[in-house]
Amino acid sequence: MCHRVSRVGRSSTGTRMPVACAAALLMSASAAWAGETPDVLNDPWQLSLGSFIVDSDTEVRLDGETQTGTSVDWEDTFGGGDVTRFRIDGQWRFAERHKARFMWFSSARSRSRTLEGEINWGDEVFPVNAKVEGEFDFDVYELAYEYAFLRRDTYELSGTIGLHYTELSLSLAAEAASSGGTLTADIKEEASVGAPLPVIGLRGLWQLPHNFWIDAQAQFFAISIDEYDGNLQDYKVMVTWQPKKWLGIGLGYNRFAVDVDVDADKFNGSLDWTYEGPMLTYSAVF
């Protein structure tokens, strides 16, 4: 069942710190790589930092101990609001056909809206015309292994197996003073959940003329184990221009979707979340 939980602070400084460190790492080595020719198919390390123009679709429900929660369309209810989002990808080619890959995607948003309909959220009821602040933090971490079962001078095709860890934190809060008499006291309900979801997939990398590369991947998995029941899909296509080891500019498209029902101590409900849209990255190989 759902219990109120203490929210782990996610200050804007804390969110920006890993991004700033990754950017500093990429830029600081530019002088050392200036005269070297990149080879994405053979260089041991690759690191990229990206941002999105994302169209997201979020539907979430938080059940309480005595009531079933309202299914909330987050974008329709709260709009876009203040949004931060980024993605960090890296890989280590530790042998000719073997790679380890990691990824971190983060999206956070917050906004206040006057409700047009009642919301049952956990053990609280947020009435019509209450001014509610909604906060939504979503992080996805991935660690994967890749094996190139088909490899030639200008391309390779790999099978992947890995683990996505999806971390979600949600809260609704309303103050009586700003809710037009609809509340007699301030109310707040928050919950968080972490869902480990394994994935399998395919990835292809092709070298094109003039230092262009195509990187395409598809990952999928469905799971029903313990308190988790759901599926995950991740599709990404990138075209990258990599004229120097320290300079790579990529443009692509990413679609990520997770649909999971959870019956856990800190979160009892469901999440159906999809983001998709163009992606712009800066990358380096070394």
Indicate the Cα dihedral angle 73, 75, 79, 81, nearest 10°: 120
Name the residue with higher pLDDT: 132 or 51: 132
Report whether 53 contacts 274 (CB < 8 A): no
Distance between start and end Cα atoms, the chain: 49
Q: SS3 string of 3-50?
A: CCCCCCCCCHHHHHHHHHHHHHHHHHCHHHHCCCCCCCCCCCEEEEEE
Q: Is residue 216 part of a domain?
A: yes
Q: Is residue 154 part of a domain?
A: yes
Percent of the chain at pLDDT > 70 equals 84
Tokens of 118: 């009642």
Q: Is residue 141 part of a domain?
A: yes
Indicate the Cα dihedral angle 20, 192, 56, 91, nearest 10°: 40
Q: Is residue 5 part of a domain?
A: no
pLDDT band of 2, cuts 50, 70, 90 = very low
Tell me what the pLDDT averaged over the chain comes to. Answer: 84
Q: Is residue 91 part of a domain?
A: yes
Phi-psi domain of 180 (left: phi exceeds 0; alpha: psi -120 through 50; beta: other): left
Q: Is residue 3 part of a domain?
A: no
Name the residue range of residue 89's domain: 12-285
Find which of 14-28, 137-151, 219-233, 272-286 is predicted with most confidence, using mean pLDDT: 137-151
Q: What is the DSSP letter of 74?
A: H
Q: Is residue 4 part of a domain?
A: no
Reported in sequence order, the residue ranges of 8-97 that DSSP labels E, i.e. its strands, are 45-52, 55-62, 72-73, 82-95
Give the whole-angstrom CA distance, residue 197 versus residue 156. Answer: 26
- At 220-246, the pLDDT tens digits run 988 777 777 888 899 999 999 999 999
> What's the structural domain count of the chain?
1
Q: Is residue 7 part of a domain?
A: no
Q: Kindly report the CATH number assigned to the domain that includes residue 50.
A: 2.40.128.100
Question: Does residue 209 have a pLDDT over 70?
Answer: yes
Q: Which DSSP helix (H) or strand (E) runs through 29?
A: none
